[in-house]
A = this chain, B = another copy of it.
Amino acid sequence: MKVTIYEVGPRDGLQNEAAILPVEVKAEFVRRLAEAGLTVIEATSFVHPKWVPQLADAAELLAGLSPAPGVRYPVLVPNERGLDRALECALGTGGVTDIAIFGSATESFARRNLNRTVESQFDMFAPVVERALANGLRVRAYVSMCFADPWEGPVAPERVVEVGRRLLGLGCAELSLGDTIGVGTPGHVEALLDAFEAGGVGLDRLAVHFHDTYGQALANTLTALRRGITVVDASTGGIGGCPYAKSATGNLATEDLVWMLDGLGIETGVDVRSLAATSLWLADLLGRPSPSRVVQALAKEI
């Protein structure tokens, strides 16, 4: 079995950290991640800098990257204006090849994060996906708040499936199912994957994206893997986190995931010690220790 780790540290991680890093540091971060063996690295976001000042240097970062062979560098685009900026960009000597859009399973989060309803988000995404496909790009769609949201509580799996099917219907290649506030447990994961299968969506179209806010991310990931999911989102060092979650703990740490996959004999091509060394380097620059258990444990031997 082989698992693809979809690394979100440079985007989902850094956009939720208080510190704003210089573009050269971000480029070095992305370079180190590829060197450690990661093959999909979400590099940045073309969200308006007013909302995410941490990633205001998206175009400059991409222009300065030297893409490693076999590595994809998706970028988040929120809307058509973001797509325009992404399409204008150089990525090394070529252009952007992969984008991600960010949808919501709940009305409350759609309103707060997108200033849209669940229904009208598809109107916003449709031309983005259409033009991206016309330009030869691969499109991933995040579905956020797949288990619960802070305002509405638990979310029915069928609602998530409906949102996911609409996004796939627009032409997205993959859905990333996000437990944005980290409250889900393995039974919820089973129920959601059951609902997708019942809804006719193959598990090969799905990725999982767990937050460790309540310590459940790795147990949830294991549950998804046992069901056949082979794409898992993680953030090196566990940096970032949802600004709406109740604590600073955020994304599943890539190191904690790789430790488990290594133990299970599941191939990732990623060197956990190299990643942990990068997290220790980055923690100094971010001004806070990595919340990753593996990084903390390996700190004394690196």
Interface, chain A (partner B; CB < 8 A)? 182-188, 212-216, 218-219, 221-223, 245-249, 253, 256, 259-260, 262-265, 292-294, 296-301
Q: Are A259 and B214 in contact (CB-based, < 8 A)? A: yes
Q: Within the complex, what minimum Cβ distance (angstroms) separates A156 from chain B?
A: 16
A214 and B297: CB pair below 8 A?
A: yes
Query: Do B259 and A215 have beta carbons less than 8 Å apart?
Result: yes
Contact of A213 among B246, B249, B297 (CB under 8 A): B297
- Bound-state CA distance A299–B188 (Å) is 24
Q: Would you list 30 pairs from A and B whose C-beta atoms are within 8 A, ordered by A residue?
A: A184-B263, A185-B262, A185-B263, A186-B222, A186-B260, A186-B263, A186-B264, A187-B263, A213-B293, A214-B259, A214-B294, A215-B218, A215-B253, A215-B256, A216-B218, A216-B259, A216-B260, A216-B263, A219-B219, A219-B221, A219-B222, A222-B222, A222-B223, A245-B297, A246-B300, A246-B301, A247-B296, A247-B297, A247-B299, A249-B297
Q: How far is the CA of A216 from the CA of B215 in the complex (A)?
A: 10
Cβ of A69 to closest chain B Cβ, rounded Å: 30
| Chain B residues whose CB sits within 8 angstroms of the CB of A187 once the complex forms | 263-265
User: How far, in whole Å, are A138 and B79 apart by their CA atoms in the complex?
Assistant: 65
Chain B residues, Cβ within 8 Å of A216:
218, 256, 259-260, 263
- The 3 A-B residue pairs with the shortest CB-CB distance, nearest first, are A185-B263, A215-B293, A215-B256
A272 to B, closest residue via Cβ: B214
> Bound complex: CA of A216 vs CA of B222, how far in Å?
10
**In the complex, how many angstroms separate the beta carbon of A157 from the nearest chain B beta carbon?**
14
Kindly provide the distance from the CB of A272 to the nearest chain B CB, expressed in whole angstroms.
10
